[in-house]
Structure 1
Amino acid sequence: MSQEESPPIAGGSGLFDGFEGYRTPQPGDYKEIATSGLIALDANVLLNLYRYNEATRNDLMSLMELVSARLWVPHQAMEEFWRNRETAANGAWASTQEAIEALEKARRATEAAMSMWAKKTALADDPRDEVLGELGPALDRAVRSLNAQAEKDRVKGAQDTALDPIVTRLARILEGRVGPPLPDEDYATALEEAERRIQAKLPPGYRSGYKDNAYRADDYLIWEQLLRAAANAGCDALFVTGDTKDDWWRRNRGRALGPRPELVEEFRRRTGRMLFMLQPQEFLRDIGSAINANISPTSAVEVERVDHLLKATPETNERSVIQARLDAAMQRVYEVAEDFVSGT
């Protein structure tokens, strides 16, 4: 019997059978998801709409509108959105004021330092006034720049949900697309399972074990609700999240390659379908490309930039975004002072 005629080995399987979590998704996978799958959004995807610039915000929401028939938000993710919405909406503007206060503090400190330096070196008033004359306009320009950018990017009317354009637009996009909470008995069981996974360091959610008890189960609750929704829908699912902790992602040299294989296997076991995951910037690029959406390449860059800043100091969120602009302004102040000193 030739090799071509040899019968298959009993019980044999293919290369990816049982190892689907290591397969690299292809454009066709995303096209199928966008047309017939389930696209689940994490709370951070919605909250970060308040942190992006206006153009990026519009691109992301336009893409959400194009795939709205496939969108779904776990009830727990929506609860997190409402819990944190006001902080996110107010954060950029409040952080701008903090940055301006820091600049004014730097102005006062610089003036005091220059006066002290002038006294100790018996420097005449003219050289001291010259450098202060350079620093003052530089600080004024920095303050104007921060105010202008904050005014451009802030969401006007965010204090009133009836006037908030993000809430108004999301209400239309997500009408009928938010999942139900778990029944009371199932919720209690899920809390126990979340705690078990935290203690055993099983994904997802064990990296949230440091949180207050009221919120440490959030990630697992989202996961359980996603599993149930995909099983009921009988389709593959894409989870879009800005959470890059390694209890969600399989990583190589720091790069997130896809969902952890354990999650892919649990998803397949519970739903019989395939799990995909993307970060928001990848959602813009890959899903946008799959459906030929008119998305600016700069929007994905802006999403990645802001998300990187937020992750750098997660406890201060919006402040870290403004801090980058403040650092640039202060660098100019230091350059002016250094030029003056080196020239004296």
Structure 2
Amino acid sequence: MANNNEIAPSISDASVNVAELIADDYVIVCDTNVYLGLYRFSPDYANFALDCLREIQEHIMLPYTVKIEYNKHHHSLFKRRQDKIENSIEDTMKLIEKQQNSLKNSCATLITRQFPGAHEFQDEIDEKYNELKTMLTDYFQERSVLTLIQDSWTNDVVKTFVERLVDSNQIMQDLTRDMIYSICEDGEKRYKKQVPPGHKDGKTKDGIRKYSDLILWKEIIQFAKEKQKNIIFVTDDVKPDWWNIENDKYELLPQLVQEFAKDTKIRESANDGVAGPSMKIVPFVSSDFYEAISNSMNVPKSDVVEQALKITDKDYIDMIEYQAFDSIYDDLKYSGFQYVDESALTYVGSEGIEEWEIDKHEFSSFRMVERDDDQIIYELIYHVEMSSNSCDYWGKDDDTKEIIVSPSYKHGVMGQITISVVRTVDMLMDFEDSSDFDSSEIVSGDFEETSYESCFVDEDDDVPDAYTTCPDCTREINTENDGGNGFCVECAPNH
């Protein structure tokens, strides 16, 4: 018997012994996204994941709502998967050739301008890109992508797997229409209070669809209570209305764990005066689940799969942290007072602030904000030091009509910015390292003044070569702070 005190029941933990949990009569329930996710994996990883699921197939229960959702989407995903794998080498080769031609066109400009060695440089470019094309061809040949397509995926093997669950009667009783309407009514109240799960869907979905997560959750609870079964729950919906995510660890929300325990407990009034125990739930994201099965039930992993399991969010952030900041550099440079409180600065000239100079930036931390299907949103935080100048408007030159401004005031600020990065995970390329992201933007910034230097000396300091005194502020005037009308530069605009 497994010692449940040895595991953290709310953490997705690849070291959990799934075989022992199954021996303790745990039932496995997978969310729709787990089955649909198989279509998005590389052939190597998809076959490994299927091997894991087949190993524990007789212990899986299929929620009725999962069956309905799966049937809606599996056909289009299967077709998309086949097309994408078959076109992967062609599409990637086209991308390489496009970049090659673009760079050669740039070299043609150098040749036209008779830069020395430009022809040789262009030849070297061709040589390197030809090497890259050879690497790409070898990559696909080594992984036998075409063989995998012909042998394993000539038919929809995931659909076959799900149909076997249904044929074996490993499917939960569907909820009545009245029960679903009741859950939706309850969901409307829960979502207003942001009670998980599913309240994040309330903003993006409509009708009954926005309550699909809650309906699934209630279906699992009902099954666990009626059958008095502990549950292994696997889902790749990693939005914050299911999980807390910290340091690449996924923790099922405590509210959900408590609700599961409370609602699966058999009360005395329903059991001849004897209270039953609460059922337990052990959650996983699919990558942890497959690794846990592999470790505890000896399902072999290929080297590519081992590589895939080791890639974490942190690995990805390590690759893009400089690129992400570079992508918003100009936005920050010309942001003016968008992230700096003007009122908190000592003094800003009437002409406003010039562009910011990014003197120093350092990556601080990140968090995964949301995952929706194959799209992940991260927030990256940076500590930043910036400086800029401002000046006062003094008027126009009588002869040239050019604007005359004062010498610059120097401003230094320090704070942090948060950059949102949207990443699409393409697992069809065998989890190769990727530093790509779809978009990035600054979502917040907060800076405080750390230094200020006026272009004029303080009024209490001696003014060298002073030849008069400003009648307004009594500051001494010299050639550098002469406003030109008998007043200092700060008082001159008032006259």
Structure 1 length as normaliser, TM-score?
Answer: 0.72
Q: Report the CA distance between 1:182 and its aligned residue.
A: 2.3
Question: Which residue of 221, 225, 236 corresponds with 1:227?
Answer: 221
One-letter code aligned to 2:211: A
Is 1:283 the counterpart of 2:347? The answer is: no
One-letter code aligned to 2:235: T
Q: Which sits farther off after the overlay, 200-209 or 190-199? A: 190-199
Instruction: Provide the aligned length of Structure 1 versus Structure 2.
Output: 307
Q: Report the CA distance between 1:27 and its aligned residue.
A: 5.1
The structure-2 alpha-carbon separation of the partners of 1:29 and 1:157, relative to structure 1 and needing over 3 Å to count, comes to: closer
Q: Report the CA distance between 1:139 and its aligned residue.
A: 4.3
List per-residue Cα deviations over 1:17-50 (Å, max 9, x = no partner): xx9869x999578613455121101122212222
1:24-43 equivalence runs, <5 A: 31-33=20-22, 35-43=24-32
The structure-2 alpha-carbon separation of the partners of 1:46 and 1:26, relative to structure 1 and needing over 3 Å to count, comes to: closer
2:49 corresponding residue in structure 1:
60
Output the CA distance in 2 between the equivalents of 1:294 and 1:327: 28
1:130 corresponding residue in structure 2:
123
Question: Which residue of 303, 307, 312 corresponds with 2:376?
Answer: 312
1:31-180 equivalence runs, <5 A: 31-33=20-22, 35-89=24-78, 90-91=80-81, 92-93=84-85, 96=88, 98-123=91-116, 126-141=119-134, 143-145=136-138, 148=141, 151-152=145-146, 155-156=149-150, 163-173=155-165, 175=167, 176-180=169-173
Is 1:184 the counterpart of 2:181? The answer is: no
Q: Report the CA distance between 1:224 and its aligned residue.
A: 1.4
The structure-2 alpha-carbon separation of the partners of 1:293 and 1:124, relative to structure 1 and needing over 3 Å to count, comes to: closer
Equivalent residue of 2:67, what SS?
Answer: helix
One-letter code aligned to 1:228: Q
Q: Report the CA distance between 1:203 and its aligned residue.
A: 0.9
One-letter code aligned to 2:243: W
The structure-2 alpha-carbon separation of the partners of 1:45 and 1:156, relative to structure 1 and needing over 3 Å to count, comes to: farther
Question: Which residue of 281, 296, 318 corresponds with 2:301?
Answer: 296
Output the CA distance in 2 between the equivalents of 1:179 and 1:120: 74
Q: Which sits farther off after the overlay, 95-104 or 44-53? A: 95-104
Output the CA distance in 2 between the equivalents of 1:249 and 1:312: 14
Q: CA RMSD in A?
A: 4.0
Q: Structure 1: 5+ residue runs without aligned partners?
A: 1-15, 329-344
Output the CA distance in 2 between the equivalents of 1:29 and 1:322: 29
Output the CA distance in 1 between the equivalents of 2:202 and 2:110: 51
- The structure with higher relative contact order (CA 8 Å, sep 6+) is 1
Output the CA distance in 2 between the equivalents of 1:313 and 1:98: 25
**Are the equivalent residues in 2 in contact too, given 1:107–1:136 (CA < 8 A)?**
yes
Output the CA distance in 1 between the equivalents of 2:430 and 2:292: 30
Structure 2 length as normaliser, TM-score?
Answer: 0.52
Q: Which sits farther off after the overlay, 75-84 or 202-211? A: 75-84
One-letter code aligned to 2:216: I
Q: Report the CA distance between 1:279 and its aligned residue.
A: 1.6
Output the CA distance in 2 between the equivalents of 1:225 and 1:300: 35
Q: Report the CA distance between 1:221 and its aligned residue.
A: 1.8
Q: Which sits farther off after the overlay, 311-320 or 118-127? A: 311-320
Q: Structure 2: 5+ residue runs without aligned partners?
A: 266-278, 317-373, 379-421, 436-495
2:323 corresponding residue in structure 1:
none
**Are the equivalent residues in 1 in contact too, given 2:35–2:158 (CA < 8 A)?**
no
Output the CA distance in 2 between the equivalents of 1:75 and 1:209: 22
**Are the equivalent residues in 2 in contact too, given 1:71–1:174 (CA < 8 A)?**
no
Q: Report the CA distance between 1:223 and its aligned residue.
A: 0.8
**Are the equivalent residues in 2 in contact too, given 1:282–1:300 (CA < 8 A)?**
no
The structure-2 alpha-carbon separation of the partners of 1:223 and 1:155, relative to structure 1 and needing over 3 Å to count, comes to: farther
Q: Which sits farther off after the overlay, 52-61 or 214-223? A: 52-61
Q: Report the CA distance between 1:94 and its aligned residue.
A: 7.3
The structure-2 alpha-carbon separation of the partners of 1:326 and 1:141, relative to structure 1 and needing over 3 Å to count, comes to: farther
**Are the equivalent residues in 2 in contact too, given 1:54–1:153 (CA < 8 A)?**
no
**Are the equivalent residues in 1 in contact too, given 2:224–2:264 (CA < 8 A)?**
yes
List per-residue Cα deviations over 1:54-95 (Å, max 9, x = no partner): 443333323322322220122222333333324433244377
One-letter code aligned to 2:217: W
The structure-2 alpha-carbon separation of the partners of 1:98 and 1:225, relative to structure 1 and needing over 3 Å to count, comes to: farther
**Are the equivalent residues in 2 in contact too, given 1:34–1:67 (CA < 8 A)?**
no
**Are the equivalent residues in 1 in contact too, given 2:29–2:63 (CA < 8 A)?**
yes
**Are the equivalent residues in 2 in contact too, given 1:40–1:239 (CA < 8 A)?**
yes
Output the CA distance in 1 between the equivalents of 2:19 and 2:192: 35
Output the CA distance in 2 between the equivalents of 1:301 and 1:189: 46
Equivalent residue of 2:213, what SS?
Answer: helix
2:354 corresponding residue in structure 1:
none
**Are the equivalent residues in 2 in contact too, given 1:93–1:154 (CA < 8 A)?**
no
Higher helix share: 1
Question: Which residue of 187, 193, 197 corresponds with 2:186?
Answer: 193
Q: Which sits farther off after the overlay, 199-208 or 243-252? A: 243-252
Equivalent residue of 1:277, what SS?
Answer: strand
**Are the equivalent residues in 1 in contact too, given 2:51–2:299 (CA < 8 A)?**
no
Q: Report the CA distance between 1:154 and its aligned residue.
A: 6.1
The structure-2 alpha-carbon separation of the partners of 1:87 and 1:105, relative to structure 1 and needing over 3 Å to count, comes to: farther
Question: Which residue of 255, 262, 268 corresponds with 2:261?
Answer: 268
Q: Report the CA distance between 1:158 and its aligned residue.
A: 9.2
The structure-2 alpha-carbon separation of the partners of 1:317 and 1:177, relative to structure 1 and needing over 3 Å to count, comes to: farther
1:247 corresponding residue in structure 2:
241
